[in-house]
Amino acid sequence: MLPNTKFYSIHIALIGLLLTLAGCYTKQSAEEERDPDIAVPPQGRSSAEAPAEPTELQEPSTVHVNVYLEISNGMKGFMPPVVAGKAGTEFQERMNRLVSEVQDGRYVDRKAFYLAKEDAQGKPVLDSVSYNVIKKYIANGIRDDVRGTPLPEMLRAALQQSLDHEAVAVIISDFIHGPSDQGQFLSLDSDIRGALREAERQGLVVAVLGDLSAFHGTYHPAVKKPEVRRILKGEQIPFYTWVIGKQPDVQVVINRVFRDLPQQQAYFGFAYKTTPFSALLKSGNFKPAGIVYCSSRNADPCTSVNLQPQPDEQVEFTVGIDLSTLPANMQRVAYLKQHLKVMGNGCRAAMVSVIATDEGIRATPDLARYTHFVRVQVTQLTANSGSVYIQLPHVYPAWVEKWSTENDNNPIKEPGRTYQLTKIMDGVQALYRDQSDHIFNVSVQFNKAD
Amino acid sequence: MAKLFVFGIGGTGSRVIRSLVMLMAAGVKIQNCDKIVPIIIDPDTQNGDMNRTVELLKTYKQIHDSLGRRDDGFFHTDISTLSSIAGDGNAKIRDSFVYDFGGINKPFKDHVGYNQLDIDSQSLIDLLFTPENLNNSLDVGFRGSPNVGSVVLNEIIDSPEMRFFASNFQAGDRIFFVSSIFGGTGAAGFPLLLKNFKDSRTGLPNAASLNSALTGAMVVLPYFSLEQPAAGVEADFIDSNTFTTKAKDALSYYQHHLNGVNAVYYMGDTPDKPMENNPGRASQKNDAHLVELLSALAIVDFMDYSDNELGGNEVYHEFGLREDVSHVQFSHLDTETRDRIATQLIRFHYFERYFTKHLPDDAQAAYAKSVDLGSAVRNDQSFKELSKFLTHPEFGYQAWLRELGRKERTFAALDLNETDFNRMVSDKQIETGFLNKGIHQGAFVKELNRASESISDREPFKATIKAFEVATERLVEEKLKYS
Amino acid sequence: MIQKFFWGLYEMFLGRPIPANFTNDYREVVFPNTGLLLIIITLAIVLIYYYVLNRMMSTGLYKTQHWVMFLVLNAIIAFIIPVVQVNANGIDTHSYTFMFAFLNVIYSLVLFFLFSILLKRGSVQAWTTPVKWPNKK
């Protein structure tokens, strides 16, 4: 009798224990989530960046695209008639792929193809043509005799038309400015700025992709001395694809429609105001160091942390960021390593490393949402609360300088240069100068740990 | 309130009182009085039976005094010495349960002044008394010679003790005599004392109260025999062959001359194997006998009657068993008798068994710990007295019960050698099973703890006795289910 | 409020949680849960000991050695709770976890004794276990 009762009592106690264990835990966590004390809302973000554009978040599944191909005489060399047994130029291949994607790709809804040229009065004319026609132009070359179009006018006209069509403007040109009036060279930057003013007003962004292609035929340099024209036989001449439109639409076009972008890219007006991020404090892949923990236990994502670096133990933790919507070259780790900045407000913070996601990381569901992981180090607090910023500033693309020249008269001697490309880019740059300084700016709030 | 004076005359008187004390210890209730005053009358001051009864009485009194006045329970009946009933503390007599004969250590011959008598008187004496009667020293008693006793005992009426008794006798008090009819002291003493108390011309104080006092008597008929000495051995001895003759003579005397007794109880048994023949002194220490226990019940029975019931004609009681068995159990007693003593004795027996066998292991039990029983048992005088009462080899409860089991007709209701509580009561054993372990140490502790919870008294002795009373009552009621 | 209390109770001796990144799991879940469970289970065992085993059932388990058995049982549970809690909340086990469990055992002993002193009064069989004090009766 005695041992029996003892035995039972232990069992009862254990059952009770299990029941309470289960019950208590769920109750507790449910409570936490509602606890206003604990759940610190991401304050800074909500106030400063509340009117975030919703369009930025989700890329549309399809876009409207207007393709403008300049067909002035200067472009003819890119599109020599294709001869059997001889490969086309890079230009032809790229353009062929481009128009094909626009025509048949799943990401393009309404599409239109235009040939940009100049009428007798020197005004830009945009001829709407069918897919087949433009394809024929690309493959067989330009027969018409068309004078070089003044750049700003062509941009303005194409932009205006795309705005009317609510389409993304894709403008392909050698961007060799051939103004009737040589004085226009002086004001090229402001003319470009003026031409694209409407784009900035409408909240559009500009992406410029620079590429090289063999050139067979008559080359018309902007600087007409000593030669007015030269016959080139396969020298590399730059050409550019400008994509102008709303940021998400442009993203679709460059990331999905074009794929396989050239190395030379420049982006203007791009800004990511709601970059998804989270301080990763409980991930097995990225163990933090020192005293740091998420301010709210169940916060997901965790945008606010409590931390306190000790003299002998600095705080390090990893922030996961989703940069998948950024242009591809900005997602490159090398690029980010070079340009990403970590700054502290109320603390001394520095970036330790940045890595891109990989198969191993993606296997963890919570981490699959992020494409990049920035390791942040906080060495000292100077205030009881503040923020740690992870920023990607707008960087003036270095290649522009290299591809630019003040004299494009002899491309044989100096291939792959475009006359006053810097000035053209400066014009675009100036247009967006007063917008945000950063492509994205992630701010992790912190409080001194108690 | 009323008192009961019990005169235990002779060795038999002492032995019956011994059993009475055991019944009182067990908590058997005495009605219609709140105090028993035993007065043992035995000139044989060395008598073993008497001395151990006296020790038992003293121990009982100590225990009772420690426990204080109570209406029921173990040791609840107040047993007092004669001197202590005065209340004023001025008694000029010895504080004892025994009548003091003041050292009559001379031969009967000298006592009556035989040599100073004239020749005619000497001849009369020679006619009435044998030479042995005359030459025997009186301090060994009267050796079964009532003729001697009646002379000597007559003198005690004028003693200070008797006068003290009489002057403290109050209306409503009762008197009970216990004596054997076949001995010396008893057979002579009882009619003599009775005659003096009931004599309207008696010289004792409070004569009226004494005359009208309700009086009972237990007359013990022969129930044992004594060994005859081997042929040719000249020895002092009591000839038990004369018991029957003497009993007959006395009975016929009682028939005509016993006035003023309200109830007379007779009890006897066929003698079985002879006892050692010890005519007196310390060696007269006979084993307790069932007859004595049953005789003690006469006192209980007598007190059960109300004054009115006893007021009528004399009544005579005889005792009988349901069956003539040699091992008497509770079931062999008449229902009335059984109801009176069985549960009480069982409870007391449980108490004794547990107290002596298991209590030392209970230091941690709540009932013990709450009063620090361990050290109390070691240091407290009351516990020492209790232990003496239960275990003393001469007069203790264990000895008494053991002795009761030795005779041919034994009191076998309670088995002293049985350690299992479930089998201690011969006629009612507790059925045990897998789930029901009956009465075992654990069950006992449980009841003791439960009982102790309701006891407010923190005095260790009182609390412990009370706990045992409550616990044994519950055990008997719920486990033994004795009825 | 309750959280703060338990958090203080444990960190008073343990210092801040290690690894630090689970600080609020400890503070908001593990400490309060463990503390509450400790109180509830200790109370339950004390009640079982004094009121079920030594009042309703009278099992004879009234001796100090039996009380110690239940004290130890409670201490074992008190050691298991924190470990289970830590694991159930996905917190990395650390020597801190075992210091925490050990501290909880200490608390369980104190609490068990405290509850015993407070509640033993109502027990029939064991109101003097483990000590008679402070009951007079």
Tokens of B438: 């009956």
Q: List, in order, residues 6 or more apart from A224 with CB less than 8 Å away.
A: A409
Pick the closest to residue B480 from B442, B435, B444 (CA basis). B444
Please name the residue of chain B whose CA is at the shortest distance from the CA of residue C54: B446
A353 within some domain: yes
8 Å CB contact between A39 and A102: no
CATH number at residue A277: 2.60.40
Question: Is C42 in CB contact (< 8 Å) with chain A?
Answer: no
Structural domain boundaries in chain C: 34-122
What pLDDT is stored for residue A345 in this prediction?
Answer: 92
Contact C41 A13 (CB under 8 A): yes
Q: Evaluate whether B7 touches B150 at the Cβ level (below 8 Å).
A: no
Asked whether residue A298 is assigned to any structural domain, the reply reads yes
Report the pLDDT averaged over residues A32-41: 38
Q: Cβ contacts (< 8 Å) between C60 and chain A: which residues? A: 2
Q: Which of A370-379, B224-233, B358-367 has the lowest mean pLDDT?
A: B224-233
For residue B364, give the nearest of C63, C124, C135 by CB distance.
Answer: C63
Domain membership of residue A35 (yes or no) is no
pLDDT given at position B270: 81
CA dist A177 and A437 (Å) reads 30
Cβ–Cβ below 8 Å for C33 and A24: yes
The pLDDT tens digits of the residues spanning B257-297 come to 888 899 999 998 887 677 777 665 566 778 889 999 999 99
Give residue-wise pLDDT tens across range B428-476: 888 888 878 888 888 898 899 888 888 888 889 999 999 999 999 999 9
Q: Which pair of structure tokens corresponds to residue B233?
A: 């051995």
DSSP per residue, A29-63: HHHHHH-TTT----HHHHHHSTT--HHHHS--S-E
Tokens of A175: 């961007």
* Closest alpha carbon to A350 in A315, A310, A301, A394: A315
Inter-chain touch C124–B458, beta carbons under 8 Å: no
Q: Which of C24, C32, C52 sits opposite A28 (nearest CB)?
A: C32
What integer pLDDT is reported at residue A50 of this predicted model? 36
**Does residue A51 fall inside a structural domain?**
no
The C-alpha angle A336, A337, A340, rounded to 5 degrees, equals 55
pLDDT in tens, B32-89: 988 999 999 888 777 888 889 999 999 999 999 999 988 899 999 999 988 888 766 5
The answer to whether residues B388 and B253 touch, using CB atoms and an 8 Å cutoff, is no
- Give the one of C33, C48, C57 whose C-beta lies nearest to A12's C-beta: C48
Mutate to test the interface with A, among C24, C36, C59 (most CBs of A within 10 A): C24
Task: Tell me the three-class secondary structure of C61-125, residue by residue.
Answer: CCCHHHHHHHHHHHHHHHHHHHHHHHHHCCCCCCHHHHHHHHHHHHHHHHHHHHHHHHHHHHCCC
Q: According to the model, what pLDDT value does residue A168 have?
A: 93
Asked if A25 and C88 come within 8 Å (Cβ–Cβ), the reply is: yes
Put simply, the answer to whether A2 touches B437 (Cβ < 8 Å) is no
H/E stretch holding A94: helix A90-104
Placement of tokens 């992870």 in the chain: A390
Let me know whether A278 and A304 are in one domain. Answer: yes
> B370 and C58 in contact by Cβ < 8 A?
no
Under DSSP, is residue A222 helix (H, G, I), strand (E, B) or coil? Answer: coil
Domain identity same for A338 and A353: yes
**pLDDT, tens digit only, all 137 positions of chain C:** 888 899 899 999 999 888 888 888 899 889 999 999 999 999 999 999 999 998 888 788 888 999 999 999 999 999 999 999 999 988 888 999 999 999 999 999 999 999 999 998 888 888 888 888 887 65
Does residue A13 have a pLDDT over 90? Answer: no
Residue A70 covered by a domain: yes
Nearest-by-Cβ selection for B449 from C125, C132, C137 = C125
- The dihedral formed by the CA atoms of C112, C117, C119 and C125, expressed in degrees to the nearest 10: 100
C91: which 2 tokens? 């917190």
Q: Between B370, B442, B449, which is nearest C137 by CB?
A: B370
Round to whole Å and give the CA distance between B240 and B44. 19
A170 forms bridges with which residues in the sheet? A67, A243
A2 close contact with B: CB closer than 8 A: yes
User: How many angstroms separate the Cα of B129 from the Cα of each of B86, B112, B135, B280?
Assistant: 40, 12, 10, 19
Whether A5 sits inside 8 A of C59 (CB atoms) is yes
Q: Give the residue, A49 or A358, on which the prediction is more confident.
A: A358
First to last CA, chain B: 32
DSSP string computed for B221-280: PP---BPPPPTT-------GGGHHHHHHHHHHHHHHH--S-SEEEEE-----SPBP---S
Tell me which residue in A21, A32, A306 faces C37 most closely, judged by beta carbons: A21
Do B416 and B398 meet the contact criterion of CB atoms below 8 Å apart? yes
- Kindly state whether C121 is in contact with chain B, defined as any CB-CB distance less than 8 angstroms: no
Is the Cβ pair A292, C20 closer than 8 Å? yes
pLDDT for B363? 85
User: Strand B214-220 relative to strand B263-267: parallel, antiparallel, unpaired?
Assistant: parallel
Question: What is the per-residue pLDDT across A107-131, written as a single tens digit (0 to 9) for each?
Answer: 999 999 999 888 777 778 888 899 9
ipTM for this prediction: 0.83
In a domain, A203, yes or no: yes
B345, pLDDT greater than 50:
yes
Q: Cβ contacts (< 8 Å) between B442 and chain C: which residues?
A: 59-60
DSSP state of A152: H
DSSP A329-383: GGG-HHHHHHH-EEEEESEEEEEEEEEE--HHHHTSGGGTT-SEEEEEEEEEESS
**Which positions in chain C touch B446 (Cβ < 8 Å)?**
58, 60, 125
Mutate to test the interface with B, among C55, C124, C131, C136 (most CBs of B within 10 A): C124
Q: If you average pLDDT over residues A328-348, what whole number do you get?
A: 90
Residue to mutate among C56, C69, C116, C128, with most B CBs inside 10 A, is C128
The alpha-carbon gap from C113 to the nearest alpha carbon of chain B, in Å, equals 17
Task: Tell whether omega for the bond before C134 is within 30 degrees of 0, i.e. cis.
Answer: yes
Residue from B180, B186, B353 nearest B266 by CA:
B180
| Domains contained in chain B, CATH given | 3-319 (3.40.50.1440), 336-480 (no CATH)
pTM of this structure: 0.74
Distance from CA of B363 to the nearest CA of A (A): 20
Q: Are B138 and B105 in contact (CB under 8 A)?
A: yes
Q: What angle do CA A274, A277, A283 make, to 5 degrees?
A: 165
Task: Express each pLDDT in A242-287 by its tens digit.
Answer: 999 998 899 888 888 887 788 888 888 888 888 899 998 888 888 8
Residue A193 lies in a domain: yes
- Measured between CB atoms, does A120 come within 8 Å of chain B? no
Report pLDDT digits (tens) over B319-330.
888 988 889 999
Angle (deg, nearest 10), helices C31-47 and C64-88? 150
Residues sharing a CB contact under 8 Å with residue A69, sequence separation 6 or more, in sequence order: A75, A95, A113, A114, A115, A116, A134, A137, A138, A172
Q: How close does chain B come to A17, measured CA to CA in Å?
A: 29
Q: Which residue has the higher pLDDT, B300 or B98?
A: B300
In this complex, do C132 and B369 lie within 8 Å of one another by their Cβ atoms?
yes
Nearest-angstrom CA–CA distance, B124 and A72: 187
pLDDT value at B7 more than 90: yes
Give residue A331's domain range: 273-393+439-448
CA-closest candidate to residue B148, choices B139, B160, B158, B161: B139
A211, A289: one domain: no
pLDDT for C75:
96
**B192-212: average pLDDT:** 87
* Tokens standing for residue B127: 């006619």
Whether the per-residue pLDDT at A45 is higher than 50: the answer is no
Average pLDDT, chain B: 86
- B380-410 as b/e, with b when 16 or more CB fall inside 10 Å? bebbebbebbbebeebbbbbbbebbbebebb
Rounded Cα–Cα distance for residues B125 and B115 (Å):
11
Q: Nearest-CA neighbor of A309 among A249, A382, A371, A236?
A: A382
B160 has a chain C CB within 8 A of its CB:
no
Contact B13, B187 (CB under 8 A): no
Least-confidence region, from A55-64, A138-147, B445-454, C85-94 = A55-64
Q: What percent of chain B has pLDDT over 90?
A: 35
The average pLDDT across B90-119 equals: 79
> What's the whole-number mean pLDDT along residues B367-380?
89
| DSSP structure string for B306-355 | -HHHHTSS-EEEE---SS--SEE-GGGS-HHHHHHHHHHHHHHHHHHHHH
Q: Which residues contact B419 (CB under 8 A, 6 or more apart)?
A: B353, B357
Interface test with B, best of C61, C62, C120, C132 (most B CBs within 10 A): C62
Q: Identify which of A248-257, B347-356, B360-369 has the greatest average pLDDT.
A: B347-356
Sign of the torsion angle spanned by Cα atoms A327, A332, A338, A340? positive
Largest separation between any pair of C-alpha atoms in chain A: 118
Q: Mutate one of C3, C4, C7, C21 to test the A interface: name it (highest A CB count within 10 A).
A: C21
Q: Find the closest chain B residue to A2 by CA distance.
A: B442
Number of domains in chain A: 2
Q: Is the pLDDT of residue B379 over 60?
A: yes
**Which residues fall within 8 angstroms of residue A271, CB to CB, at 6 or more apart?**
A247, A435, A436, A438, A439, A440
Tokens of A328: 């591809």
- The pLDDT tens digits for A296-312 are 888 888 999 999 999 88
Q: Is the Cβ of C36 closer than 8 Å to some Cβ of chain A?
A: yes
**What distance in Å separates the CA atoms of residue B29 and residue B73, rounded to the nearest whole number?**
9
C132 to chain A, closest Cα gap in Å: 23
Sign of CA dihedral B455, B457, B463, B466: negative
- A147 and A245 both lie in a single domain: yes
Same domain? A66 vs A119? yes
Q: Which residues of B touch C63 (CB under 8 A)?
A: 364-365
pLDDT at A53 over 50: no
Note whether A401 and A259 are same-domain residues: yes
Q: Which residues pair with A344 in a beta bridge?
A: A388
- CA dist B458 and B460 (Å) reads 6
What's the one-letter identity of residue A382? T
Residue A173, number of CB atoms within 10 A of its CB? 23
| Binding partners of C (≥3 Cβ pairs within 8 A) | A, B
Higher-confidence residue of A184 and A369: namely A369
**Who has greater pLDDT, B312 or A210?**
A210
